[in-house]
Amino acid sequence: MPPAADAAHLATAADPDEDLCSSAAAAAAGEVAPAPPLPPPPVSAEERIERAWAHWRRLGSPRLMVAPMVDNSELPFRMLCRRYGADAAYTPMLHSRIFSENEKYRSMEFTTCKEDRPLFVQFCANDPDILLQAAKMVEPHCDYVDINFGCPQRIARRGNYGAFLMDNLPLVKSLVQNLSANLHVPVSVKIRIFPRLEDTLAYAKMLEEAGASLVAVHGRTRDEKDGKKFRADWDAIKAVKDVLRVPVLANGNIRHMEDVKNCLEHTGSDGVLSAETLLENPALFAGFRTKEWKKDCDENEDSGLDQADLVIEYLKLCEQYPVPWRMVRSHVHKMLGDWFRVHPEVREELNKQNILTFEWLHDMVMRLKKLGGRVALYKKESALQTAADGLAASNA
């Protein structure tokens, strides 16, 4: 894979947003713990399926997951989402070749801690041996090594990875087989659907047979990049769940907890992933919703929590678990988007601030609060209870 575009942010000298936001230490991939003995290879497909489910249950059968997001599902954000109900999370997509070769990339892009479990570490790749080398570095620190077969962006086309490997199924199969045969932790995959359902089902079954212990299905095709324009196809996800024997996760159309309940009921999947909604509202899985989705709530159901409060929590976690400032800047923009629409002059101040500090960001949040126009998060207790009941029933 060509290094230039994917590794551009490693040249940090001219861009302070590439510097770490704090000097606090966090556990990183370089601290390799001893791996457990490799279990004997499964003697049958039945045993592979049994092991996949046994592992899933040991993790507590998590239902509510932070999806992988480039530059956005990093450790402090994962920990914030876990604080508000997420019971598993993915790392951002990591570039397997750069990860295996570049120590600085590893230390900047992958950090974790003991509370950061269950954890999926996701890689993009197009070379089975390079992917295995990278995966070996993280397997002591995670519960699944995940392969990204779903990224639809132009950079994935240029690099020949993600959803563009759907055009090379023999390579897809070899990537999964090589990891499955050589790792101590299970292999998971995240995929998009084909335009034709029969192709999607054949693809999913091939991945399971190759050794995938879990399949996460984004219910949109490779060409359906705009989540607001194209609704995810829950029927296709249900069809995949019906033909596979390993755990299946659903990705797409999750805006609040009623969507979680409806998705689990419709698809029969074993859990859901959320990405874009969590970026605006990391408290989604605790039943909070933004004003866009408060129409079912009474005005007096203001939860007392708002996105500015969540930004303050996130900044404190960044001080504890340092990440590059570019990630911090991105999250502040996403979480305070509604506030910035009321006070665009504050957003402009943020954009002009070349060098960020925690003190400056805290002051900015306080200025927003003092300016008024607070944007509350809402919580509909009846809907939350209904969703909780649905989760409990599906776990039974």
Residues designated as active site: 151
Give the other-Cβ count within 10 Å of 322's Cβ: 21
The residue type at 221: T
SS3 244: coil
- Token pair for residue 199? 């192709």
Helices and strands in the chain, H and E counts: 18, 14
CA distance 54 to 59: 9
3-state secondary structure of 82: helix
Of the candidates 316, 305, 254, 251, the one whose C-alpha atom is nearest the C-alpha of residue 283 is 305
Task: HSE, CB side, 13 Å, CA atoms: give it for residue 63.
Answer: 21
- Reference 389, options 234, 221, 218, 261; nearest CA is 261
For the chain, the farthest-separated pair of C-alpha atoms sits apart, in whole angstroms, at 66
The amino acid at residue 154 is R
Q: 187 near 119, Cβ under 8 Å?
A: no
DSSP sequence for 349-361? HHHH-SS--HHHH
* 15 CB-contact burial (10 Å; exposed 0-12 / middle 13-18 / buried 19+): middle
Fill in the DSSP letter of residue 255: -
CA-based nearest residue to 253, from 281, 274, 225, 278:
274
Q: Residue 190 in contact with residue 272, Cβ under 8 Å?
A: no
Identify the CA nearest to 128 among candidates 190, 173, 189: 173
Residue 207: its H or E element: helix 197-210
